[in-house]
Amino acid sequence: MVQYKRMLMLTKGICAAVTTGTLGYALYTYEGKVVHASWTTNFEPSVKWNHNWDRRDPESLVKPIKGDPTEKESKDRANKLDKQKSTATRHLLLIRHGQYNLEGKEDSDRYLTKLGRKQADYCGKRLKEADFAYTRLVSSTMTRAVETAEIIHKHLPHLTWEKEPNLCEGAPIPPEPPVGNWKPEQWDGPRIETAFRKLFHRAEPEQTKDSYEVVVCHANVIRYFICRALQFPPEAWLRIGLDHASITWITIRPNGRVSVRRVGDSGFIPVGEVTVS
């Protein structure tokens, strides 16, 4: 009952603020205290966005002017900054491979199951139906990813297909909270981080049109990428779940800001054919 009354107070306060046009100032009284929206105060975020996360912020690429610059020096530097600025948006469509043979000891034995091949085909059809201006296809070199990419490529035959060994499955870093019953033989953080830095960055200044890149890899890799791209603690990667042949869509804007449009989208696969392990 107490909780209900508190929620009622909150609702009434917000409605009153909207009605009177005072939204953005004192919203409501909670337990005798006036509460303000965070953006109306000198609120300091606990974590600030690193604008130079990809080391491609123009300000970091053009040497600053010492002392008081002349008008010509200021114009010259402004021109140099303009030449370093991105103007296009990059879209990365991260695809987890289809279901595969878990009994295989070697990578060559961990091929797609019959269902896994169907899942990859559903994914390829979905990508084709989306009709984006795809620019390339990239996959890890592991059997299950190569087979998934091969099936997708049949739906997007015009794409060049590159294979990147750094995209192979592995254990990025010890997760938090720790999982006691899972102990990988080795941690592959440096390799997977290399893949992230190679793939994730704002568009080159020479790129004039938005691009859509299809990347076929693995659950651990994609989960780590999501955390790194959003500048979340990467130790949180194991808290994210991804279905087989699902699509995770990440957008990198010209100013370096990153957003996630989809995470593990598998809605294009019939419910009875959706798997995660």
Tell me the binding residues for substrate: 96-101, 144
Pick the closest to residue 237 from 248, 253, 221, 218 (CA basis).
221
List, in sequence order, every residue forming a beta bridge with 26; answer none if it has no partner.
36
Provide the annotated binding site: 96-101, 144
Half-sphere exposure of 22 (CA within 13 A, CB side): 12
Phi-psi category of 18—alpha, beta or left, where left has phi over 0 and alpha has psi -120 to 50? alpha
Sign of the Cα pseudo-torsion (21, 24, 28, 32, in order): negative
CA angle 154, 157, 158 (to 5 degrees): 165
Instruction: Please state, in angstroms and rounded to a whole number, the distance separating the CA atoms of residues 261 and 231.
Output: 16
